[in-house]
Amino acid sequence: MTNESMKKVFATKLTDTSLIDLEGIGVLRFEGARIYKYVTYNAGGDVIAAVAGNCVVYHGDDAVVVDSAADVTSDYSSGAGIVAGVLQAVIASGSFGWIQIKGIAVLNLALDTGADGNELIVGTTDGALAVRALATSHTAGVAVDATAKIVLLDCPW
């Protein structure tokens, strides 16, 4: 089985941002045990700036996410409540950049609540994660070392 449909050469570094789409929106990038996704950032209704290491959710309601799962925001009130990943750079609203969606990641913000081994979901603080309490909540990953803000991400593609 060949892997001809997967992009292997990239024009940007994981910390690069751009005003134009240089990679192909929604493209996945495999780097060792981590997976990244090329997205657009939307500051949302509360105009929340992107911060490297903060979590983002898919922007819009669930119906919008089904149609375009590559528009993300740190403004949780403008999102669908599904964690998309962790920002790799400060991305201006309307610009393009990378988020990490799978693998070990170090967060910028401490968990809203939680301890090692807890499953994590969208937090109450924009850009943060919290412990999953309800079985119906989408799990974004697991706390590996809650004190050091290290998580094992497992966000949807």
pLDDT in tens, the chain (157 residues): 444 567 789 999 999 999 999 999 999 999 999 999 999 999 988 999 999 999 999 987 655 555 557 899 999 888 878 899 999 999 999 999 999 999 999 999 888 777 899 889 888 888 888 888 776 677 889 999 999 999 999 998 7
Enclosing domain of residue 53 = 28-154
- Does any domain span residue 141? yes
The helix/strand/coil state of 77 is: helix
- Please give the pLDDT value at position 128: 87
The helix/strand/coil state of 143 is: strand
pTM value?
0.89
Backbone angles phi, psi at 45, to 5 degrees: -65, -30
- Does any domain span residue 18? no
- Does any domain span residue 20? no
- Please give the pLDDT value at position 121: 84
107, 80 contact by CB (below 8 A): no
- Does any domain span residue 21? no
Q: Nearest CA to 80 among 93, 92, 66, 65?
A: 65
- Please give the pLDDT value at position 59: 86
- Does any domain span residue 100? yes
- Please give the pLDDT value at position 42: 94
The helix/strand/coil state of 18 is: strand
- Please give the pLDDT value at position 103: 98
- Does any domain span residue 59? yes
Domain total of the chain: 1
- Please give the pLDDT value at position 136: 61
Cα separation, 7 vs 28, in Å, equals 8
- Please give the pLDDT value at position 60: 77
